[in-house]
Amino acid sequence: MDTVYITEYDYPSLEIEQKMFREIGIPFIPTQSHSENDIIKNCKDAAGLMVQYAHITEKIMSSLPNLKVIARYGVGVDNVDLEAATKHHICVANVPDYSIDEVSTQAIALMLDCWRRVTFLHNSIHQGHWDYAIAQPIWRLRGHKLGLVGFGKIAREVAVKAQALGLEVLSYDPYVQPESMRAMGVLYQPFYQLLREADIISLHTPLTKETYHCINSDTLGLMKASAILINTARGPLVDEKALQTALTNHQIAGAGLDVLEVEPIRSDNGFLSMDNVVLTPHVSWYSEESNKEMKTKAAMGIIEVLQGRAPTYLVNKDVLPYLSLK
């Protein structure tokens, strides 16, 4: 009989997944297996793996002979070796559309917080100050330029919300035609030109070999001294040491970060002592509604494959010719 395992998770409840698998008679076993060896040991007969943060490597795949499908809780699949999955005829599914509203809203919230210096002023009041002047200068938001790095579903929603605030929106995405941007009132700009022109840079690109540390000392050097960087995508898009240097030296004005290179944040991370950085704990995906949708769709990706169907949200489509799925 096919068995499904969760490699690891930090959710307080698995009731949604448990109910879905129970109703179709598939055994469902949660584990807290974070390492390669633990996953191989604890999930050895898995037909399906549900994964949150664990890295699913070729070694794991080659050690689980019954494995047919891996489902990632979330959008990004940079923790799954897609090439190896296709090689081993394993489907990889994700949930690409569950938190578009949430992530785009978080990006806007971080922009507004940094621009209006909300958290900085809040903290200053708690330190005994009542003086708006310590936040000077604050500029009117309307009429300034927002640069979106990436123009997928989330970035498009950010564009709509930002335009309602009076921002002029620019974007760079090598995989999207400029005409598609223009149709939404967004101006295509080459990457380096976007960095030079935008007053706010917001990252909305997946983590790949090409995008790793795309924000680094060189690219930060192109940005305006008054510019703000927002990251609700993936932590390793940003070279944190370079960003800390840029913030300390006032090369840029501030940053709003929901994701970091290492999570949870380490106690010695330099961002913790900076008053021009707003941090949130990788929360941009979350609402009660999006949490339910993510869990339901991730579980359904497993169920579809085990019932002989191609998953709705198949990532490695190159695997299909090797499989007999409806």
Active site residues: 234, 263, 282
d(CA 280, CA 185) in angstroms, rounded, equals: 30
How would you list the strands of the sheet with 4-6, edge to edge? 28-30, 4-6, 48-51, 69-72, 91-93
Q: Which residue has the tokens 């695997």?
A: 319
Torsion of CA 256, 262, 266, 268, to 10 degrees: -80
d(CA 219, CA 190) in angstroms, rounded, equals: 13
Assign residue 117 a region (left: φ > 0; alpha: ψ between -120 and 50; beta: otherwise): left
Residues 6+ apart with CB under 8 A from 125: none
Write 319-322 long-range contacts (CB < 8 A, 24+): 319/85, 319/86, 319/89, 319/90, 319/91, 319/92, 322/86, 322/89
Calculate helix-pair angle for 100-116, 118-126, nearest 10 degrees: 60
Furthest C-alpha separation in the chain: 68
